[in-house]
Amino acid sequence: MNIIHIYKQKIVNTRSELYAYELLFKDQFNYEANFSDNVKGTSQLIISLITSTELDQLLGQKTLAYINVDDATLTKGILDLLDKDRFILNIHENINLTENVINKIVQYKKRGFKFSIDHFDSSADMISKFSRVFNYIDVIKMDIVLSEYQNLQKVVNKFKGTRIKLLAQNIESKDDFKECLEMGFDLFQGYYIDKPEKMEIIGSKEPAQFIILQLIKIIKEDDTTNEKLEFFIKKQPDLSYKLVQFFNNIQKLNLKVESLLQVITLMGREKLLRWLLVYLYSEVSTNPASKTMLELSIKRAERMEAEAEPRNKEKAYLAGMFSLLSSIFETDIKELMHHINMDSDITSLVLEKKGIFAGSLMRAEQAEKDYLKKIMLANFDKLYTSDLIYALEYGGVEINKDEI
């Protein structure tokens, strides 16, 4: 059984009433887990949160929950399935606010998500850093330990009375609470308010990789019917159950599910595909390079799709995506293709690098190699001898042992 350990800590209002919980994910050593470095871990946790029947019992049916995010989790699409009315996206204070990250914040805000900034130290540097996104922020969690009192008061004066709520973070004593209440804070969090409480949620059993890939394939086909989708989903009982659970959590109407076909029809292809892609992320291996490999396969697929003739664009996309799957899933590519029964043009490309998409694949690979060559040359002194030997050996390059 896959048990996920989550710690919840209360956030209260000025009347000491429960306003929300912050969710902290911790590893076996009780350290806060940095799941942004592990897309698989983040996806599994989110899938468990949005499909768990225990969540309402653990948090309450209407209580808000803060979930920590950074640049990686914001830009990978793995937050798309969270309930915007239930979860507040808590931006890490050390986030790298690139144009891509800012655009993602704007996109999620337009879709109705709420944002907070974590551990805001009230300094001029912190204000300058987040100046471009304040219009999209709903709560500033001001760290009263990290903040100098004078700066703390200035920030409170700046935002008090605006639509942004101010949260006093790290309230450690009754005096801290009283002082921050008098300063004009709206919300309060810390060990004086509540110590983190450990929860256990039964994580979802991961659906078979091959079923997910096959579903993505048929969703992208023009002639696919909802009945065909239903047939494939029924092949995996756990997947069927999780899909119905997810649908029950996101749909606002009090509908009783009568069939998988009903769920697929009401969700629509786009929502279903998003859900499957998050599951695909959760299937990625623990190999540290697997996340990059998955992103590379998607970009390769998009490049090949753009080069293909109109009637072959869908096949070109799938051919590009599947061309790196053996690296992502660390499995034999022949075994993989045997299980998913792909189109012959795709199969010949993936197994033999032959067929109508071979030229497009070669151009994509060359562009990738040119970039990686620059990276390797620029960072050559940082590479280990053993890593270089493994790379050459796997590439079929003979090494003259006498020259080493």
Same domain, 153 and 243: no
Residue after which a domain boundary falls, among 176, 202, 228:
202
Q: Are residues 272 and 290 in the same domain?
A: yes
CATH number, residue 105: 3.20.20.450
One domain, residues 224 and 149: no
Rounded distance between C-alpha atoms, residue 178 and residue 196, angstroms: 21
Q: 271 in helix, strand or coil?
A: helix
pLDDT score recorded for residue 252: 56
> What's the pLDDT band for 37 if we cut at 50, 70, 90?
very low
SS3 per-residue string spanning 88-141: EEEECCCCCCCHHHHHHHHHHHHCCCEEEEEEECCCHHHHHHCCCCHHHCCEEE
Answer yes or no: is pLDDT of 10 > 70: yes
Q: Give the integer Cα–Cα distance in Å for 341 and 337.
A: 6
Domain extent, residue 322, equals: 209-358
226 and 271, same domain (yes or no): yes
Beta strands at 3-13 and 197-202: parallel, antiparallel or unpaired = antiparallel
- The secondary structure element, H or E, covering residue 238 is helix 237-250
| Residue 214 and residue 198 share a domain | no
**Segment among 41-45, 108-112, 342-346 with least mean pLDDT:** 41-45
- For the segment 318-334, what is each residue's pLDDT rounded down to a tens digit? 788 778 776 766 556 77
Residue 167: what pLDDT?
98
Same domain, 175 and 247: no
240 and 189 within one domain: no
| Angle made by CA atoms 77, 320, 82, in degrees to the nearest 5 | 15
385 in any annotated domain: no
- Among the candidates 161, 186, 202, a domain finishes at 202
For range 151-176, the mean pLDDT: 95
Burial annotation 365-391 (CB, 10 A radius, 16+ → b, else e) = eeeeeeeeeeeeeeeeeeeeeeeeeee
> Are 274 and 50 in contact, with CB atoms under 8 Å apart?
no
Same domain, 23 and 87: yes
Q: Which residue has the higher pLDDT, 403 or 328?
A: 403
Which segment, 166-170, 387-391, 395-399, is predicted with the most confidence on average? 166-170
If asked whether residues 108 and 175 sit together in one domain, one would say yes
Final residue before a domain boundary, out of 138, 167, 202: 202
Residues 241 and 123 in one domain: no
* Most trustworthy range by pLDDT among 33-42, 56-65, 276-285: 56-65
Q: Report the 10 Å Cβ neighbour count for 190.
A: 23
Q: Is the pLDDT of residue 376 over 80?
A: yes
Does a structural domain hold residue 376?
no
Q: What is the pTM of this model?
A: 0.59
Q: In whole angstroms, what is the distance from residue 249 CA to residue 51 CA?
A: 7
Q: Are residues 243 and 115 in the same domain?
A: no
Domain count, the chain: 2
Average pLDDT over residues 136-144: 97
Strands (E), 260-360: none
188 backbone dihedrals φ, ψ, rounded to 5°: -145, 140
Distance (Å, rounded) from C-alpha 141 to C-alpha 159? Answer: 12
Q: What is the pLDDT of residues 172-214, one digit of tens each?
A: 999 999 999 999 999 999 999 999 988 776 555 444 566 677 7
3-state class (DSSP) for residue 188: strand
pLDDT at residue 32, rounded to an integer: 54
279 and 219, same domain (yes or no): yes
